[in-house]
Amino acid sequence: VHPDEQKFFNTALGLVKSAGRIVREAFEQPASAVETKSSNTDLVTETDRAVERYLIDGLHAAFPDHKFIGEESVSGGAKIEWTDAPTWIIDPIDGTTNFVHRIPLIAICVGLSINKELRGGIVYNPITNELYTAQVGTGAFKNGFPIHASSTQDLSAAVVVTQLGSDRRPEMISSFIQSYQTLMLKHNAQGNRSFGSAAINMMMVAQGSVDGYIEYGIHAWDVAAAAVIIREAGGTIISPDGSPFNVMGRCVLCTGTPQLSSTISTNFTHVQFQAEA
């Protein structure tokens, strides 16, 4: 890793760990005000905003020419501008619904892209104290120990995560139901799960606890950091229709093996989304 890039990563890591304290303290208190964004299924709290502000202020002070794509800045009206400049793609709390319900499956996600290539990822659950990190070429780590995706090829031996996000258009619901039916009836999958945070779902794949994860409707900030970790853990990440993964493409399929991706991909109805940048 280039020394400059290492410095970027280390600075982000320090900020994410400190931001963890803000999230943990809030989590230990009774839930406070919750606001809705696009609908009653799309939530934001003052903690999401405070953490995003903290991360962006800290990174901006250290690297004034870096750019940012942050979930709450975008929902506050900022445009997604993805350029070749070093860009931090940030979700202050991935799994806000879990956070609001005090379900301890949430993650602070910070990804770095340079020349539009995802270079480093940090996914931190400050409640369970699980810190996942990876940079291109370094391997993937959980609390400093190497992690690896599973070698499962067959759906009948696989636990697969499918998740319905905040988008409740009829085509989303029918795709979700059909996915579930295909997994459970046609392929007799060993299990199906939904952890309520795209990044946590992906970390479950990265550490080999589950074998695959598919979701439509996600955003860049949910998956940018986690994508680097999946790849470095030896997993595969593509678009559900089998085309290359596009972090701005609003959908994701990741698995431990390409064989499992291919089975999942060929058995799903694919929902169309416009890329967000």
Q: List contacts with ligand LIP (CB under 6 A).
A: 71, 91, 94-96, 163, 165-166, 196-198, 215, 217-219, 222
Q: How far is the CB of 230 from ligand LIP (least distance, A)?
A: 15
- Shorter beta-carbon distance to ligand LIP: residue 18 or 194: 194
Residue placing its CB nearer to ligand LIP in the complex, 95 or 240: 95
Q: How far is CA 216 from CA 64, 90, 143, 172, 235, in A?
A: 34, 19, 29, 8, 19
- Write down the least CB distance from residue 48 to ligand LIP, Å: 8
71 among known catalytic residues: yes
47 is an active site residue? no
* Nearest residue to ligand LIP, scored by beta-carbon proximity: 165
Q: What does the alpha-carbon distance between residue 217 and residue 247 come to, in Å, rounded to a whole number?
A: 12
- Strands 145-146, 191-193: pairing kind: unpaired
Q: Which listed residue (94, 167, 211, 215) is catalytic? A: 94
Answer yes or no: 97 catalytic. no
Q: What's the min distance (Å) between Cβ of 165 and ligand LIP?
A: 2
222 is catalytic: yes
Residue closer to ligand LIP by CB (options 114, 264) is 264
Q: Spot the catalytic one: 45, 47, 52, 71.
A: 71
Give the HSE-up count for residue 219: Cα atoms under 13 Å, Cβ half-sphere: 20
Is 96 labeled as catalytic in the residue annotation? Answer: yes
Whichever of 123 and 140 has its CB closer to ligand LIP, that residue is: 123
The Cβ of residue 244 has, within 10 Å, a number of other Cβ atoms equal to 8
Retrieve residue 88's tokens. 């931090």
* Options 45, 96, 152, 255, the catalytic residue: 96
Closer CB to ligand LIP, 92 or 256, in the complex? 92
**Minimal distance, residue 151 CB to ligand LIP, in Å:** 25
User: At its nearest, how many Å lie between ligand LIP and the CB of residue 198?
Assistant: 4
Residues with a known catalytic role: 71, 91, 93-94, 96, 222
